[in-house]
Amino acid sequence: MTPNASPPGRVTLSDVAKASGLSRATVSLVLRGSPLVHADTRARVEAELKRQGYVYHRGAANLRGRTSTAVALVINDLSNPFFAEFAAGVDEALATAGFVTLLGSTGESVERQQAVLASLLEHDPAGIILSPAEGSDGARLRALVGDRTPVLVFNRQLHDGTTEAGWDFLALDNQRGARLATEYLLDLGHRRIAFFGGHRDSSSCRQRREGYREAFAAAGITPEPQWLVECAPTRLEAAGQTGALFVRDPAPTAAVCYNDAVALGLMAGLSARGRRAGHDFAVIGFDDIPEASVSSPPLTTIAAAPRERGRQAAELILQRLRDPTQPPISTVAPVHLVLRDSDMPLQRSAA
């Protein structure tokens, strides 16, 4: 047999490792698409795999080693452009590391969430990234997922805590973001500022409302109860609830919105009432979805970089897979104010 010929019979992992001058474990990492392998080593192993004609049975390997190259992503609202961007970021980062994304959407239903997770768990994902539906119960989720599959919770805290449950947590700086938006409107001279959209039972909404209240407290102002308007965080619901801002005089002259979808819906609702955002009513969103910069007028908002947050979430779950024994990590992602044209000084509103 010539030196370049493959040995008779089926080529094994040990054959490839011996010919490459590497350990069997290193070859196995390459086959599983591990990000821990250096690019030169990966190329060396892949060349030897090709030379020997090695055929990798991924399904059998998963069963033997209880490993998976899939990560489940469960989000609460696929119709929200923020989560479309977030999911794209997750998928980009996972693909770079050799993983695939299993996507599920709950539509803000805790029962649907249980069903989606149960279905995805049948595929034995390596980990789960979860943006919980409103009203999610941590104990119930843990009973379903168990202790073997790592979970990263995104943005919304569970009722009984996240890191306390042994799960990692990635949050937006909701409180600071809403405070920045409110402070900016106060600096423009507005004093009657609404917080518009979202549900108080959502932890992210509570945090944003708290930032709104903090800014008022620092200015020595007490917001009126009617300035807090609840609605589902969607464009359609926000447009339909616009009239709630004007049921009592004097009405607000500005609004900090729960998210960009709500802000865009509010701008449509204002237009239907003969008003214009940025002309006689100030509107600030939260998220900075791609549409925010091209809306009419372009939306002033709190930028949370949704695609970058998706990549960050994927990197955190991969970090957990590399080191399952590290303590639970809680990460708060920064936000910042992006000024465009949907706000204006109070003088313009009064005029």
Averaging pLDDT over each range in 76-85, 280-289, 320-329, which range is the top one? 280-289
User: pTM of whole model > 0.85?
Assistant: no
Q: How many domains does the chain have?
A: 3
Q: Is residue 24 included in any domain, yes or no?
A: yes
Question: How big is the chain, counted in residues?
Answer: 351
Range of the domain at 85: 68-173+306-333
52-61, 89-98, 296-305, 329-338: which has the minimum mean pLDDT? 52-61
For residue 187, the domain's CATH number is 3.40.50.2300
Question: Could you tell me which of 256, 233, 290 has the C-alpha nearest to residue 76?
Answer: 233
> Residue 163: which pLDDT band, with cuts at 50, 70 and 90?
low
Q: Is residue 3 included in any domain, yes or no?
A: no
Confidence at residue 160, expressed as pLDDT on a 0 to 100 scale: 65
Mean pLDDT score across all residues of the chain: 90
> Residue 157: which pLDDT band, with cuts at 50, 70 and 90?
confident
For residue 19, the domain's CATH number is 1.10.260.40
What is the average per-residue pLDDT within 60-74?
70
Q: Are residues 201 and 283 in the same domain?
A: yes
More confident residue, 53 or 15: 15
Q: Is residue 6 included in any domain, yes or no?
A: no
Q: Is residue 197 included in any domain, yes or no?
A: yes
What is the average per-residue pLDDT within 242-250?
95
Q: Are residues 341 and 217 in the same domain?
A: yes
pLDDT tens per residue across span 311-341: 999 999 999 999 999 999 999 999 999 999 9
Q: Are residues 194 and 342 in the same domain?
A: yes
Q: Are residues 240 and 327 in the same domain?
A: no
> Residue 4: which pLDDT band, with cuts at 50, 70 and 90?
very low
Burial class from Cβ neighbours inside 10 Å (0-12, 13-18, 19+) for residue 220 reads exposed
Q: Is the pLDDT of residue 66 over 60?
A: no
Backbone angles phi, psi at 172, to 5 degrees: -85, 155
> Residue 49: which pLDDT band, with cuts at 50, 70 and 90?
confident
Q: Are residues 179 and 297 in the same domain?
A: yes
Point out which residues pair with 231 in neighbouring strands.
Answer: 198
Confidence at residue 59, expressed as pLDDT on a 0 to 100 scale: 47
Q: Are residues 87 and 39 in the same domain?
A: no
Q: Is the pLDDT of residue 58 over 80?
A: no
Q: Are residues 157 and 225 in the same domain?
A: no
Q: What is the DSSP letter of 302?
A: E
Q: Are residues 215 and 235 in the same domain?
A: yes
Q: Is residue 275 included in any domain, yes or no?
A: yes
